[in-house]
């Protein structure tokens, strides 16, 4: 059996972290088994769906490296939904109902007031042909409900949550089509999964009840259902749902300098028993991906952890991988020298300014004489080998300074900072002329 997964976003907005995690896990499961990963644009809501969001979804997935093997659009499949709808209606699995939203809300309130679950009473099933004719004569069009089989327990073995069981008698027959003829999510999704050969559906635990309902739709269509894996939802680092997670999208992450490999590395392991590790290449993550590692505890997303993973990813990136994002003139030697001190690739620009200058170093009047001596030594150094260690060795012998007193004034004068890349790697990049000029400047020369 070829494994087929799908990611099915609605193009009513851009992808956020939770969507990305769902897409990633579907992609990883397919790749881990040599299967196929489908992108299905669920654009049945014509009023809210926008083409710009379709383009954004494609671009975001491409940036993350989650390339689908095929793309489908629900808006191109209305004829298929209609055909199956008619089959199910004729077989008695779908029935028309006419209650308004206000009438249904009143029914729910009455049931809750009696301490009963707010389950639809199926009053529409008692309507006569004359009743239907009267509604039609009055111009009232029905919405359509899927009739659940209340005599059969709904059971499945979830790949993450384990054995699941629902009693259809405690559930309302779901509305699958509005009175204006537009489709709701449930039935078109089940039809697509059947006809596209989807074998595994990976989604959030907020869809568990939907799965129970859709399993009966698969049965009504005479189709075997896919396997389901319902993941714990993402929460913020503080342990509760965060509004920011709902708006934190690829654009925001990209603007913060987050690498796609960092997002993949973190989200691949969130909610599992496996440690989060930085992988510039997703192959090890794919090879180890298994739903057996997932737990039911909330999966905590921490932006600080993402930033840490990102820094570790940046430290692995080759010059060729980042060359087009580096300041003009920066070569591989410079990149390798500053890379261990970067949190983002964009941070390379700051270090390029340190190398190229000018440097705004803090005033150090007490060190003026020391820096003048350092400038004199620097002028006469052999810069072809290791000027930093030659400079500090000569100054240590001449002044008796050591440790912080020896190194910090030099670093401040040469870079304008108290910390940064290894000076042994950085000083040759600054070069003799600029180094001597900076030392002279801070010495008051």
At residue 445, does pLDDT exceed 60?
A: no
CA neighbor of 241 nearest in space, from 268, 204, 275: 204
Q: How confident is the model at residue 359 (pLDDT cuts 50, 70, 90)?
A: confident
The pair phi, psi for residue 382, each rounded to 5°, is -85, 105
The answer to whether the CB of 195 falls within 8 A of the CB of 176 is no
CATH topology of domain 1-71+232-316: Rossmann fold (3.40.50)
- CATH 3.40.50.620 positions along the chain are 1-71+232-316
Domain 80-177 architecture: Alpha-Beta Complex (3.90)
Q: How confident is the model at residue 150 (pLDDT cuts 50, 70, 90)?
A: very high
At residue 6, does pLDDT exceed 70?
A: yes
pLDDT at 239: 65
- Residue appearing with tokens 């920066």: 330
pLDDT at 348: 95
If one looks up domain 365-443 in CATH, what number appears?
1.10.10.350
Q: Is 243 annotated as a binding residue?
A: yes
- Average pLDDT score, the chain: 94
Taking the CA atoms of the chain, what radius of gyration do you get in angstroms? Answer: 32
**DSSP secondary structure letter of residue 275:** P
**DSSP secondary structure letter of residue 202:** E
- CATH 3.90.800.10 positions along the chain are 80-177
The answer to whether the CB of 434 falls within 8 A of the CB of 357 is yes
- CATH 1.10.10.350 positions along the chain are 365-443
**pLDDT tens per residue across span 228-285:** 999 999 988 766 656 677 678 888 999 999 999 999 999 999 999 999 999 999 999 9
């Amino acid at each position: 059996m070829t494994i087929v997964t799908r990611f099915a976003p609605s193009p009513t907005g851009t992808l956020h972290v939770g969507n990305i995690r769902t897409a990633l896990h579907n992609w990883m499961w397919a790749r881990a088994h040599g299967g196929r990963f489908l992108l299905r644009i669920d654009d049945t809501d014509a009023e809210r769906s926008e083409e710009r969001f379709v383009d954004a979804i494609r671009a975001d997935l491409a940036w993350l490296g989650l390339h689908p093997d095929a793309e489908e659009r629900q808006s191109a499949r209305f004829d298929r939904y209609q055909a199956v709808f008619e089959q199910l209606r004729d077989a008695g699995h779908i029935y028309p109902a006419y209650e308004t939203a206000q009438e249904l809300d009143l029914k729910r309130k009455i049931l809750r007031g009696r301490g009963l679950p707010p389950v639809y009473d199926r009053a529409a099933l008692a309507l006569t042909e004359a009743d239907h004719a009267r509604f039609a004569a009055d111009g009232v069009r029905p919405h359509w409900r899927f009739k659940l089989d209340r005599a059969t327990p709904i059971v499945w073995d979830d790949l993450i949550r384990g054995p699941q069981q629902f009693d259809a008698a405690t559930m309302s027959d779901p509305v699958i089509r509005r009175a204006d003829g537009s489709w709701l999510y449930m039935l078109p999704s089940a039809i697509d999964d059947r006809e596209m050969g989807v074998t595994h559906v990976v989604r959030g635990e907020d869809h568990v009840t939907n799965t129970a309902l859709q399993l009966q739709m698969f049965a009504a269509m005479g189709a075997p259902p896919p396997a389901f894996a319902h993941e714990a939802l993402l929460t913020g680092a503080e342990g509760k749902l965060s509004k920011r997670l709902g708006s934190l999208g690829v654009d925001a992450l990209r603007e913060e300098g987050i690498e796609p490999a960092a997002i993949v590395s973190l989200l691949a392991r969130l909610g599992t028993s496996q440690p989060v590790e930085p992988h510039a290449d997703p192959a090890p993550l794919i090879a180890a991906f298994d739903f057996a590692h997932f737990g039911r505890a909330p999966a905590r997303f921490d932006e600080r952890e993402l930033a840490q993973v990102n820094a570790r990813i940046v430290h692995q990136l080759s010059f060729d991988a980042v060359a087009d994002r580096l300041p003009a003139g920066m070569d591989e030697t410079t990149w390798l020298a500053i890379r261990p001190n970067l949190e983002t690739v964009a941070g390379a620009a700051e270090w390029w300014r340190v190398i190229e200058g000018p440097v705004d170093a803090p005033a150090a009047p007490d060190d003026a004489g020391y820096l003048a001596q350092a400038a004199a030594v620097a002028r006469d150094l052999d810069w072809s080998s290791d000027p930093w260690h030659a400079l500090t060795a000569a100054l240590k012998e001449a002044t008796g300074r050591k440790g912080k007193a020896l190194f910090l004034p030099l670093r401040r004068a040469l870079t304008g900072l108290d910390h940064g890349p290894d000076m042994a790697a950085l000083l040759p990049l600054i070069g003799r002329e600029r180094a001597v000029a900076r030392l002279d400047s801070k010495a008051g020369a």
